[in-house]
Amino acid sequence: MQHLAFTLGLTLLAVLPSAGARAATAEEAMLQQFRFTSIDGGQIGFTDWAGHPVLIANTASLCGYTPQYNDLQALYDAYRDRGLVVVAVPSDDFRQELGSEQEVKDFCELNYDLDLPMTGITHVRGETAHPFFSWLRESQGFEPQWNFNKVLIGADGSVLGTWGSSEVPTGPAITQAVEAALAS
């Protein structure tokens, strides 16, 4: 599997345009393959966010950590003009998500006024995990243990940090990592 991923990464690296004079890293090339269904319809993914740091959080509407939606939106509002992308990935892997994507979208708009990118309901664990989360587990040993786990991907495609549910998106651990990612 790692050989296939490495080969795929090299193949993608060969066809990706460079950002200015800088060539894409193998990590960037690997990330470019990952697409998600958008909760608004269509597809979203790392090709849309190339050259930007991306904070991804697996979320759920009926979790005790659900108020972190406010913090995810606040982080996005504070740093989006500098290039940060914050993505919510609703998941029912812990049996705390609403029954449909429309319900999730309505809930988030009504209760949290979210305008950050959001995927459709997505598996984040185990054999049925979305390929991004499978890659994250295989390459970094990180798999969400509960809702509102977070991962920061640098503009170069490297994993800059992972955090559990209790780490608030606007807390110092994440904001310092975001500031460092935006400065590089």
Catalytic residues: 63
Number of Cβ within a 10 Å radius of residue 156: 18
- β-pairing, 150-153 vs 159-163, is antiparallel
The answer to whether the beta carbons of residues 133 and 143 sit under 8 Å apart is yes
Closest CA to 35 of 152, 122, 99, 96: 122
CA dihedral 15, 89, 134, 85 (to 10 degrees): 40
CB-based contact 61:104 (threshold 8 Å):
yes
Q: In this structure, how many other beta carbons lie within 10 angstroms of the beta carbon of residue 121? A: 20
* Whether the Cβ atoms of residue 45 and residue 157 lie closer than 8 Å to each other: no
